[in-house]
């Protein structure tokens, strides 16, 4: 069959449209405050004085995972946005701790990065770094990728093979967030934004980067029932933190399937944040642990293995 006989697939899939909508929404929300985007909670005001107003004002969270970190810890914040949560964490972990904020959006990083030296000056120590990556692929530093593409644009299938080989080398030889390198993974209102096909990889990444004995504390929006397909195909509802929301039981199961244990709900808003159609959306904060003996971060699907690692 010649290529002329075969129909060309559409240029983009629905998931690409959703990804672009998320990118556009948070670029705009970085440039101008969008009131009502998520449902931020009050942070202890003692932590706010050192944080520049432009960062403080762009709080698009839905809970308070950062109050669960401890002095001296290495913290990874998934979807760090303007950096507010990272700068609060910086003060809790103190000069012996370290905070890494990861976000895929260059406009959010353009807010967070210039604030970092200012916060460091006011605190008297520097312990926060920001990086650009997709949180479902934390090995891949997107700034390396952009730099490579500027020097080696992809204009042929051969170029594409070269790029794929470079990406593999980056992930294995120079991972942005190495295996077992983080004490606590936090996130505030971001996991719901990751595409349906990438959610499993996302939970796997949380388990991979945690050190044995580490934990995750995540605030996110959950739905009281599976979000209907029509709502999931709506880019505005997706980028507004609704359509990608998991059911609470599926959220906890995803953590367990990634190899973590003791998945527990720490907080659950009694009232829904919003009701759309017959779906109630509310904020929860959950935690899960990585077993101290789980050295490879793999999921405990093997009963023999789970008996030894205690998950």
Ligand X SMILES: C[S@@+](CC[C@H](N)C(=O)[O-])C[C@H]1O[C@@H](n2cnc3c(N)ncnc32)[C@H](O)[C@@H]1O
- Residue 193 contacts ligand X per CB under 6 A: yes
Selected from 91, 105, 283, 291, the binder of ligand X by CB under 6 A is: 105
Q: Under the criterion CB under 6 A, does residue 194 sit at the interface with ligand X?
A: yes
Gap between the Cα atoms of 268 and 106, Å rounded: 32
Instruction: Confirm or reject binding of residue 285 to ligand X (CB under 6 A).
Output: no
Residue 183 or 205 having the CB closest to ligand X: 205
Q: How far is the CB of 73 from ligand X (least distance, A)?
A: 18
Measured from the Cβ of residue 124, the count of other Cβ atoms closer than 10 Å reads 8
- How far is residue 84 from each of residues 118, 194, 215, 224, measured CA to CA in Å? 13, 21, 21, 29
66 scored as a contact of ligand X (CB under 6 A): no
Does 59 help bind ligand X (rule: CB under 6 A)?
yes
Secondary structure of residue 157 in the 3-state scheme = helix
CB of 243 to ligand X, least distance (A): 13
d(CA 75, CA 184): 5
Rounded to 10 deg, the angle between the 142-151 and 157-173 helix axes is 150
Give the binding range for ligand X (CB under 6 A) out of 190-198, 259-267, 277-285, 297-305: 190-198
Residue from the set 21, 51, 79, 205 that interacts with ligand X by CB under 6 A: 79
Among 47, 68, 81, 93, binds ligand X (CB under 6 A): 81
Q: What part of residues 211-250 is at the interface with ligand X (CB under 6 A)?
A: 241
Taking the complex as a whole, the smallest distance from the CB of residue 194 to ligand X amounts, in Å, to 5
Q: How far apart are CA 94 and CA 166, in angstroms?
A: 37
> Where do we find the tokens 């990608």?
244
d(CA 48, CA 63): 16
Nearest to ligand X of 55, 260 (CB atom): 55
* Concatenated DSSP letters of 39-90: ---PPPGGGTTTS-HHHHT----SS-GGGG--TT-EEEEES-TTSHHHHHHH
Q: Specify the stretch interacting with ligand X by CB under 6 A; choose among 54-62, 149-157, 252-260, 295-303.
A: 54-62
Judged by CB under 6 A, the number of residues near ligand X is: 24
- The 3-class secondary structure across 191-207, one letter per residue, is HHHCCHHHHHHHHHHHH
Distance from C-alpha of 257 to C-alpha of 115, rounded to nearest angstrom:
37
Q: Could you say whether residue 22 binds ligand X (CB under 6 A)?
A: yes
**Could you say which of 84, 208, 215, 282 contacts ligand X (CB under 6 A)?**
84
Q: Does 300 bind ligand X (CB under 6 A)?
A: no
Q: What are phi and psi of 135, to 5 degrees?
A: -70, -10
- SS3 call for 140: coil
Min dist CB 23 to ligand X, Å, is 7
Burial status of residue 238 (CB atoms within 10 A of its CB: 0-12, 13-18, 19 or more): buried
Rounded CA separation 290/204 (Å)? 12
Q: Which of 47, 50, 61, 139 binds ligand X (CB under 6 A)?
A: 61
From the list 140-148, 157-165, 185-193, 248-256, the region that binds ligand X by CB under 6 A is 185-193
Q: Which is nearer to ligand X, 80 or 116 (CB)?
A: 80
Find the shortest distance in angstroms from Cβ 300 to ligand X. 26
Q: Which residues bind ligand X (CB under 6 A)?
A: 22, 26, 38, 59-61, 79-81, 84-85, 103-105, 108, 134-136, 188-190, 193-194, 241
């Amino acid at each position: 069959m010649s290529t002329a006989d075969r129909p060309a697939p559409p240029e983009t899939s629905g998931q690409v449209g959703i990804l672009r909508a998320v990118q556009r929404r948070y670029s705009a929300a970085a440039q101008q405050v969008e009131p009502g985007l998520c449902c931020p909670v009050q942070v202890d005001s003692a932590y706010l004085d050192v944080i520049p107003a432009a960062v403080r004002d762009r709080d698009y969270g839905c809970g308070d995972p950062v109050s669960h970190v401890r002095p001296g810890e290495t913290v990874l914040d998934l979807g760090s946005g303007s950096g507010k949560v990272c700068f609060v964490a910086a003060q809790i972990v103190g000069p012996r701790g370290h905070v890494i904020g990861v976000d895929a959006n260059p406009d959010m990083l353009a807010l967070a990065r210039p604030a970092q030296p200012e916060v460091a000056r006011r605190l008297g120590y520097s312990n926060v770094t920001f990086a650009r990556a997709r949180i479902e692929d934390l090995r891949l530093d997107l700034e390396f990728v952009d730099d490579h593409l500027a020097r080696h644009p992809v204009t042929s299938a051969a170029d594409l093979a070269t790029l794929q080989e470079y990406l593999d080398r980056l992930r294995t030889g120079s991972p942005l967030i190495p295996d077992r390198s983080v004490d606590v993974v936090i996130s505030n209102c971001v996991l719901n934004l990751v595409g349906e096909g990438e959610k499993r990889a996302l939970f796997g990444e949380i388990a991979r980067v945690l050190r044995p004995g580490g934990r995750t504390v995540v605030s996110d929006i959950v739905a009281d029932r599976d979000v209907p397909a029509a709502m999931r195909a709506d880019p505005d509802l997706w980028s507004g933190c609704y359509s990608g929301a998991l059911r609470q039981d599926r959220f906890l199961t995803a953590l367990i399937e990634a190899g973590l244990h003791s998945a527990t709900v720490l907080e659950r808003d009694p009232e829904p944040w919003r009701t759309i159609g017959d779906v109630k959306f509310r904020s929860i904060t959950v935690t899960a642990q990585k077993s101290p003996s789980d050295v490879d971060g793999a999921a405990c699907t093997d009963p023999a293995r789970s008996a030894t690692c205690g998950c």
